[in-house]
Amino acid sequence: MDPNASPPPKAGSYRWVVCTLLFFSVAVNYIDRLVIGILKKPLSDELGWTDTHYGYIAAGFSFAYAFGYLFGGRLMDRMGVKVGLPIFVFCWSLAATAHGLVGLIGLNEVFSVRYPWFSWAEGGLAMTTLTMPMTAAGFMFARIGLGLTEGGNFPGAIKAVAEWFPVQERALATGLFNAGTNVGAILCPIAVPWLYERIGWQSTFYLTGGLGFFWVAAWWLIYDAPSRHKRVTAEELAYINSGKPDVEEAPTSAPWLSLLGYRAVWAYILASMLAGPAWGFYQFFIPDFLERRFGLSLQATGWWTGAFFAIAAIGGVAGGWLAGALMNCGWSLNAARKVSLLVCALCVVPVFAAPAAGNVLVAVLIAGLAGSAHQGWSANLYSVVSDTMPRETISSVVGLGGFLCFFTGGFVNGITGMILERTGTYAGVFGYFSGMYLLSLLAIQLLVPVIGRPQES
């Protein structure tokens, strides 16, 4: 079957039900992740945190999420998404609700730990001491638990898309389920200030954290592999299996080191490390940027943060649609993917001007365009993995790239907190990210000249 062809009239559409399930898993994922960013100011005031302490909390999540991505992707390839994905959602829901337990810690308790760190003065490793309020440490540990368990969500979702969608629909399906990040991110800043004012921050974490348990029940009732699902017609199954990229199948659970033999893996890794941390920065610091730069109230910060994520939601769908539309017009897979990535990369460039915007609307529009472009970029970058790699390795590759992305993001978040405490401005961080996408695309082009063919070194 022609990979650019439209589905037969009677092919069926149950694959979009699966996409909807993935959409809601991602929405819940982001609600649980973003609550702390919305409540940063009242929590800092009530619990005695500094910007540096918050940077440590954000960094703890990013580092943990990196390892969660790495091992989550690996476990997803071994367990399969039917069993693996609900296990991860259940565990991260437990971690999300555990944030509320930090309220049981006394405000005067202090956490202190000594650890080795490179010192220029010492000419090598030297012991240093990290000290913070025990409440900040409690949130950091809860965020670590959340990061470790949330890391399996995207590798599992990408694997499910590869199993349920033909090549010409993958970026669109990825963009649609990835739009759940923005729906969760839109609802969170609007609802959380309202909840905080009425039930307090502890109950807010309990309520939002409990949403994932409902999703787990729905997944067990609805999901199965397409070849075994009773609601999938023979025509839809044939369409799902049509137009597969020209990549050889690999044995299940291929060793990690063997994945490094593919140039496509290196391209994905570099792009993930250079551009990927931008989204973590938006999640944790956009509310604070808007409040700090324009002196907004908590509720106003929530509404403008919701507006940022609403704009960003457009990009994931539009970026995925663009690649599919170009292929349906006769473009090659390679050209469609790379032109879509280029459009997204160019749309990020103006974000360096966001801190200089004269009013909050202009700042949100500039930053929102960059966030939208990031989502479109991600939809196509994830699809590059499924376009170039054997199906049995997809979650492992996504997990490996995500590990390095969020490990890098941990340093970015920690350093951002220190920069804020010293300079009070976000200008340098926005400027850094404005050029990273074009640099990433250059790396992809050099390492993967033609998407859709085996790219072994």
pLDDT score recorded for residue 250: 43
Closest CA to 99 of 157, 154, 38: 38
Domain membership of residue 315 (yes or no) is yes
Distance CA 106, CA 97 (A): 19
pLDDT score recorded for residue 248: 43
Domain membership of residue 122 (yes or no) is no
Distance CA 293, CA 270 (A): 32
pLDDT score recorded for residue 345: 94
Distance CA 193, CA 368 (A): 21
Structural domains counted in the chain: 1
Distance CA 403, CA 383 (A): 17
pLDDT score recorded for residue 205: 93
Domain membership of residue 130 (yes or no) is no
Domain membership of residue 127 (yes or no) is no
Count Cβ neighbours within 10 Å for each residue of 202-217 and write b for 16 or more, e otherwise: eebbbbbbebbeebbe
CATH of the domain at 82: 1.20.1250.20
Q: Are 253 and 133 in contact (CB under 8 A)?
A: no
pLDDT score recorded for residue 159: 85
Domain membership of residue 125 (yes or no) is no
DSSP for 50-63, written as a single string:
-HHHHHHHHHHHHH
Low-confidence spans in the chain with pLDDT less than 70: 1-12, 111-130, 243-256, 452-457
How many Cβ atoms from other residues are within 10 Å of residue 338's Cβ? 21
295 residue type, one letter: G
Residue 421 phi, psi (nearest 5)? -65, -30
**Mean of the per-residue pLDDT values for the chain?**
82
Range of the domain at 436: 15-106+135-447
Domain membership of residue 120 (yes or no) is no
DSSP for 327-379, written as a single string:
HHTT--HHHHHHHHHHHHHHHHGGGGGGGG-SSHHHHHHHHHHHHHHHHHHHH
pLDDT score recorded for residue 410: 76
Distance CA 441, CA 377 (A): 10
pLDDT score recorded for residue 213: 93
Domain membership of residue 121 (yes or no) is no
DSSP for residue 426: -
Distance CA 275, CA 409 (A): 10
Distance CA 43, CA 440 (A): 36
CB neighbour class for 339 (10 Å; exposed up to 12, middle 13-18, buried from 19): middle
